[in-house]
Structure formats: structure tokens, C-alpha cells
Amino acid sequence: MSTPTESPETPGGSGTDTAETPGAEPTGTGRMPAAPQILFAVVRRELSTAVLKWSSVGLLFGFVGTLLGIAWFGGGIQVGYVSTIIDLLTPLELLIPVVAFAFGYRTILDDERRGVLDVLRTYPIEPWQVVLGVYAGRSIGLVGIVTAALSFLTFPIIVTESYRPVFYATHTGADSPGLYLRFIILTACFAMVVLAIAVAISALVSTTRTAIAAAGLALFALLFGADIGLLFALSRGLIAESSLVGSLAISPLSAYRGLVLETTVAVTAGTGPRTASPLFSAIGLFVWWAGSLAVAAFAVGR
């Protein structure tokens, strides 16, 4: 692997085709930056050019306003943490994939078109490290928005605590902030999984038009196709009713839904049928996350 004679360049926030490569040593030093330096530089570049922008601030306020409106007019905030979770669960299944794809569906594609990947290939860094750096930078922004928006809702819940009606009679457990914190963590993990899928798509496409088309098809498959496929398989006998609880982990949305219901809602209720297998759901999300990043790394390295 040869060392460039001049400082290579990568895109910054200006939108030009080239810019200074993150982590590169000044010209004439004769030293090649180490892979960890380049990796952290890629993360910093993603944060400075794609995450720390006024558009991200606007997205945060819009996300907070949307969730606050849903939880307030749905009545969940006035009742407690678990009721707020129930109100937000279905809307988040739709909102999180849309926001995550907006963050990541062109990430690798833009670097490929601007020649950034060609420059990074001249450095001692593996394709999976490039993908990891890009993904980590975007994940920080996405997780920050999701956790900040959901955390903000704890304030109106606390303020309206003295006005809450009697909690549902079927709920025998404690309605605690710990359950809501668990919900925030699960939602952040779900967002990271969907972002990994978006990054994989960005690594597989070659043009902006195909990226938009692929993102639209992937969103439809995630939001509707997977659950429809599970229902079809169940109705045709391809999936036995006894194995349905574990089969729900096949879809990222149903795996996330099952984890939330079983670990935050069901623990406050009395006995009842299981809605999902927490273990299988966690494994399903992990497979989608790891598999998507592996696909992205393979596409970058080919």
C-alpha cells in the first residue's frame, strides 16, 4: 500500500469534491497515520459535517414536539410512565426508521462519489473500520436525538403526577422511571439497528436515484412487509402458532415491539399470554445490526 506524496483529501462540510483527509499527517513528515487515528478522524468528520448542524437541532425540536403531542393528547403523560410508553410505541415504530434512514441512506454513497473511499484505501485501515467510523459518527447524532427527545418527556410526566387518575386495575406492578429508562435504551438500540440497515443500503447503491429508491423499498419492507409476511406465513401454516412468539424476532420492528412489551409493559401487569420472546427478539436485532454492518464492509472493500 503506497503512501501518497501529498496530503490526501476527503469531503468536509463545504460540499466540494475534496477536502483534507482526517487524521493525515502534514506533508513532508514521512509518517503514515495509524488506523485508530484515521478511524477516530472519520468519526469526527461525520460529527462535524453531518451531525452537528442546525438541521439536526431542528430535527430534535420537531421530534420532541411530535412525541409530546402524541403522548399528551393520547393521555399517557397524565397517567404515568407505562401509559406513555404504550402511547409512543406504535408511533416510534414508524418515526425511528424514517429518521434513521434520513441519517444514513447516502452515507457511504457520498464518500464513494467524492473519492473519499479511494483516498482512505491508501491508508492502513480496513473497510470495516471505515464503515464503523462512519456508522459511529452518525449513531452518536441519531441516538442523541432519540434519547434527548424521550428524556424530555419525563418532565411533563413528573409535573402532572399529582393529577394522575387511578392507574389501570390490571397493572399490579410499580409504574417507575426505571421502566421508562429501559424503554429509552431499547428505543436507542432499535434506532442503531435501523441505521445499520440504512448504511448497508448506502454501500450497495451506486447513484443517488437508486439510493432513494432502495431506501423507499427498504422502509416499506421494514414498516409493513415483514409483519405482513409473518401474518401470511402464519395463515398458510408455514409458521406454527406455537412458534409464533419466537418467529416475531425475524422482523426488526416486531422484535423491538416484543422487547418493549415484555420488559416494560408486561412486568407491570398480571398474568397473561406472552407477546414475544425477549431472548429471541434481542438476538434478532443483533443479527440485523451485525449483518447489515458486515454487508456494508463487504461492499466498501470490493
SS3 269: strand
Q: What are phi and psi of 9, to 5 degrees?
A: -130, 150
List the alpha helices (DSSP H) in 47-176: 54-73, 76-79, 81-104, 107-113, 116-120, 127-152, 154-159
Q: What is the pLDDT of residue 273?
A: 62
Diameter of the chain measured on Cα atoms: 74
What are the CA-CA distances from residue 174 to residues 12, 80, 268, 272 (Å)? 50, 10, 6, 17
Name every residue whose Cβ is closer than 8 Å to that of residue 230 and which is 6 or more positions away in sequence: 239, 244, 247, 248, 250, 251, 254
Q: Is the pLDDT score of 179 beyond 70?
A: yes
In tens, the pLDDT along 236-291 reads 777 766 667 777 888 899 999 989 988 888 776 655 566 778 899 999 999 999 99
State the Cα angle at 150 between 186 and 13, rounded to 5°. 95
Q: What is the pLDDT of residue 119?
A: 81
Per-residue pLDDT, averaged over 220-245, amounts to 78
Highest-confidence segment of 129-133, 182-186, 249-253: 182-186
Q: Is the pLDDT score of 1 beyond 50?
A: no
Torsion of CA 300, 135, 58, 81, to 10 degrees: 140
Asked if 63 and 95 touch (Cβ cutoff 8 Å), the reply is yes
Angle between helices 226-235 and 252-260 (to 10 degrees): 90
Name every residue whose Cβ is closer than 8 Å to that of residue 79 and which is 6 or more positions away in sequence: 164, 165, 167
Asked if 211 and 106 touch (Cβ cutoff 8 Å), the reply is yes
Pick 78 or 167 by higher pLDDT: 78
Sign of CA dihedral 53, 54, 55, 57: positive
Asked if 199 and 131 touch (Cβ cutoff 8 Å), the reply is yes
> For 120, which DSSP code?
H
Q: Which grid cell is 300?
A: 466498501
The single-letter code of the amino acid at 31 is R
Q: Which grid cell is 27?
A: 506533508
Per-residue pLDDT, averaged over 188-192, amounts to 96
In tens, the pLDDT along 45-56 reads 877 776 777 777
What are the CA-CA distances from residue 223 to residues 185, 215, 216 (Å)? 21, 12, 11
Q: Which grid cell is 175?
A: 409504574
Query: CA 284, CA 33: separation in Å to the nearest integer?
Result: 37
Name every residue whose Cβ is closer than 8 Å to that of residue 247 and which is 6 or more positions away in sequence: 230, 233, 239
Query: CA 272, CA 275: separation in Å to the nearest integer?
Result: 9
Name every residue whose Cβ is closer than 8 Å to that of residue 71 and which is 6 or more positions away in sequence: 77, 84, 87, 88, 153, 156
Query: CA 271, CA 227: separation in Å to the nearest integer?
Result: 26
* Nearest of 209, 207, 229, 226 to residue 218 by alpha carbon: 226
